[in-house]
Amino acid sequence: MTQYKVPVLPGDGIGPEIIAEGRKVIDAAGERFGFDVEWIEYPHGADHYLETGELISEETLKELSGYPAIYLGSIGDPRIAPGVLEKGILLTARFYFDQYINLRPIKLLEGVWTPIKDKTSKDIDFVVVRENTEDFYIGIGGRAKKGDSEEIGYQIGLISKEGTKRVIEYAFDLAENRKKHVSSVDKANVLSDIYGFWREEFNAVAEKHPGFTTDFNFVDAITMWFVKNPEWFDVVVTPNMFGDIITDLGAMIQGGLGLAPGGNINPKGTSMFEPIHGSAPKYKGQNKVNPIATIWAGAMLIEQLGEKEASDTIVNAIQKNILDGKVKTYDMGGKNTTSDVGDDITRIIKGE
Ligand code: IPM
Ligand code: MN
């Protein structure tokens, strides 16, 4: 039996509840496919911060860097100012592990309601590859003349040649086994220094990939096309901040945040898998929210570990749970609990 050790950070709000279901499902897949996961729990998040003053230490990060994949619930708590935990834990981890790819599948499963009229699961099936370590997320900015009527604030975004090239190359590699169509997102018409550079690098990578089709999209326009013609897209590669914005839109067209998983990936290092939604503090402890995004992120995690068949089986089990339509949380029009959905998906995996 293959043994894996996976650090798990359940985090804040609904994090512990959804992570419990994700673990349950992965454990069931392990039983069926002959692997065992030892979960190593880490307490980082709001409570830990309030108790100890620590966000996440260099020592912990170093320890975590010994593992190929981390499972993360959600970070964020109303007792703490916005940004403290998000930057101090989530972004710190993304940067520390150089997780330069944020992989976000936008796939409408069959039987899921989409707000886009006349589109089906055949039309909404693409992947967003969001650059995850540069752009306006690097944390360079400042405020001046505080309190003055002339007060200013500024934030600098930057991209590097290497940082841009590697994420675009990843997008082309991903498209190789799909429809070989790669769409680039930028705002080169206005922010031409930063995103004109992005476009040049995209072109340079595209030139090395004959047989692929490509297109350029301004970020404002792509929000329109995601809604009007989602079937145009296969692999979408985007700078960090635009990727943040367009993947919330993507989550909605695939049925809502309860169904949207993501992976922060460093192909040769430590990756981290999480639902793209937040910690939803108002639902904390109610066993109410949809665990599917987290379970799906778990499927991405075990794929990263090399368990492709088990990963596909989890996604298929999610699909079956939805098509059966009997066990579902409130967001999908049901009355079941978080753990009911985890149990049902587990049952399907076990073939019961
Ligand atoms: C996301 C989130 C994060 C981001 C926040 C919480 C820092 O919105 O994962 O999309 O902006 O990347
Ligand atoms: Mn976001």
User: For 266-313, how does the pLDDT look when each residue is reduced to its tens digit (9 = 90+)?
Assistant: 999 999 999 999 999 999 999 999 999 999 999 999 999 999 999 999
How much distance in Å is there from the Cα of 33 to the middle of ligand 2? Answer: 33
The ligand minimizing its distance to the Cα of 87 is 1
Split into its structural domains, the chain has a count of: 2
237 and 130 within one domain: yes
Average pLDDT estimate for 17-33: 98
Residue closest by Cα to atom 4 of ligand 1: 244
41 and 3 within one domain: yes
Indicate which atom in ligand 1 lies nearest the CA of residue 90.
Answer: 7
281 and 241 within one domain: no
How much distance in Å is there from the Cα of 176 to the middle of ligand 1? Answer: 28
| Domain that includes residue 165, residue range | 114-254
User: Number of C-alpha atoms within 13 angstroms, CB side, residue 12?
Assistant: 24
How much distance in Å is there from the Cα of 91 to the middle of ligand 2? Answer: 11
CA 33, chain centre distance (Å): 25
Is the CB of 90 within 6 Å of ligand 1?
yes
How much distance in Å is there from the Cα of 11 to the middle of ligand 1? Answer: 14
Q: pLDDT category, 167, cuts 50, 70, 90?
A: very high
Please give the torsion angle defined by the CA atoms of residues 218, 222, 228 and 233, in that order, rounded to the nearest 10 degrees. Answer: 110
Average pLDDT estimate for 2-29: 98
Is the CB of 280 within 6 Å of ligand 1?
no
Domain end, chosen from 237, 254, 271, is at 254
200 and 149 within one domain: yes
How much distance in Å is there from the Cα of 70 to the middle of ligand 1? Answer: 17
262 and 234 within one domain: no
Is the CB of 276 within 6 Å of ligand 1?
yes
283 and 208 within one domain: no
Give residue 182's pLDDT: 98
Q: pLDDT category, 37, cuts 50, 70, 90?
A: very high
Segment 245-278, tens digit of pLDDT = 999 999 999 999 999 999 999 999 999 999 999 9
Ligand 1 binding pocket mutation candidate from 9, 75, 84, 91 (most atoms within 8 A of CB): 91
Is the CB of 123 within 6 Å of ligand 1?
no
210 and 196 within one domain: yes
Interatomic CA distance for residues 320 and 112, integer angstroms: 11
Indicate which atom in ligand 1 lies nearest the CA of residue 240.
Answer: 12
Residue closest by Cα to atom 10 of ligand 1: 244
Segment 212-237, tens digit of pLDDT = 999 999 999 999 999 999 999 999 99
Percent of the chain with pLDDT over 90: 100
274 and 228 within one domain: no
Ligand 1 binding pocket mutation candidate from 75, 77, 84, 86 (most atoms within 8 A of CB): 86
Domain end, chosen from 197, 229, 254, is at 254
Is the CB of 86 within 6 Å of ligand 1?
yes
Segment 59-91, tens digit of pLDDT = 999 999 999 999 999 999 999 999 999 999 999
12 and 86 within one domain: yes
Beta pairing class for 152-158 and 135-144: antiparallel
Q: How many other CB atoms sit within 10 Å of the CB of residue 342?
A: 25
Domain end, chosen from 254, 279, 295, is at 254
Nearest to 307 by CA among 40, 29, 23, 5: 29
* Total residue length of the chain: 352
245 and 128 within one domain: yes
CATH number where 43 lies: 3.40.718.10
Mean pLDDT value across the chain: 98
Nearest to 59 by CA among 44, 39, 37: 44
Residue closest by Cα to atom 7 of ligand 1: 86
Q: Where are the alpha helices (DSSP H) in the chain?
A: 15-33, 46-52, 58-64, 84-85, 92-96, 161-176, 192-207, 219-228, 240-253, 292-304, 308-324, 338-350
Residue closest by Cα to atom 6 of ligand 1: 86
H or E stretch including 109? none
3-state secondary structure of 274: strand
Ligand 1 binding pocket mutation candidate from 77, 87, 102, 244 (most atoms within 8 A of CB): 244
SS3 helix, strand, coil % of the chain, rounded to 5?
45, 25, 35
- pTM score: 0.97
The ligand minimizing its distance to the Cα of 130 is 1
H or E stretch including 117? none
Give residue 153's pLDDT: 97
Phi-psi region of 45 (alpha: psi -120 to 50; beta: other; left: phi over 0): left
152 and 95 within one domain: no
Chain position carrying tokens 């340079």: 204
Nearest to 279 by CA among 58, 5, 14, 17: 14
Ligand 1 binding pocket mutation candidate from 90, 94, 257 (most atoms within 8 A of CB): 90
245 and 118 within one domain: yes
